[in-house]
Amino acid sequence: MNCPACGSPDMGNKVLDETLSYGGQSLTLHAMRGEFCASCGEGVWDVESYRRYTEAQAGLLRTVKGDVGDDIRRIRKKLNLTQTELSKMFGIGKVAFSRYERGETHPPAPVVKLLRLVDRHPDLLREIGDV
């Protein structure tokens, strides 16, 4: 394999510790395996290390930001709305809100911010419906 960054053919197997940091929190993954470029240092994790990395990254985000899907579900229920009703108000498909609540996909940041605003000021809900 050639290096994906610089194209050098000088890639070698290494086992490293990788530290992830976000929002003042950090997490170290030990014994991460991959191929790394001797020229520029760029690397490609093996399948198992990549899986561990992505799971740890998602977990760290949930730890710092909280579970957005649970927030959306809680706010929707507090407002006494179905996913279909909320999706019509926001102009987003019902399937999308279902996926957000189950944590399968991440909602766009403006949707989350607007929902959190409506959570604090439920009277704004009527205005969203009128827009």
| Alpha helix segments (H runs only) across 14-46 | none
Please indicate, yes or no, whether residues 51 and 78 belong to a single structural domain of this protein.
Answer: no
Residue 4: inside a domain, yes or no? no
1 part of a folded domain: no
Q: What mean pLDDT is reported for the chain?
A: 91
CA dist 54 and 99 (Å) reads 19
Residue ending a domain, among 36, 65, 94, is 65
Domain co-membership, 87 together with 117: yes
pLDDT in tens, 16-43: 999 999 888 899 999 999 999 999 999 9
Domain coverage including residue 83: 68-130
* Domain end among 65, 87, 111: 65
| Overall average pLDDT of the 108-115 stretch | 90
pLDDT at residue 27, rounded to an integer: 93
Q: Is residue 120 part of a domain?
A: yes
Is residue 40 located within the same domain as residue 79? no
Predicted confidence (pLDDT) at residue 129 exceeds the cutoff of 80: no
Q: Is residue 22 part of a domain?
A: yes
- Tell me what pLDDT residue 62 has: 77
Whether residues 124 and 84 share a domain: the answer is yes
- Asked if residue 124 is part of any domain, the answer here is yes
The verdict on pTM exceeding 0.75 is: no
> Is there a domain that residue 6 lies in?
no
Query: Which of 28-32, 96-100, 118-122 is the most confident on average?
Result: 28-32
Q: What is the tally of structural domains in the chain?
A: 2
User: How high is the pLDDT of residue 61?
Assistant: 83
Residues 85 and 46 in one domain: no
Q: Is a pLDDT exceeding 70 seen at residue 131?
A: no
Average pLDDT over residues 87-100: 88
In a domain, 119, yes or no: yes
- Residue 42 inside a domain? The answer is yes
Q: What's the pLDDT tens digit per position in 58-84?
A: 888 878 777 788 889 999 999 999 999
CA dist 63 and 111 (Å) reads: 20
Query: What CATH number does the domain containing 42 carry?
Result: 3.10.20.860
For residues 35 and 55, the answer to whether their CB atoms sit within 8 Å is: no
DSSP helix/strand/coil, 118 = helix
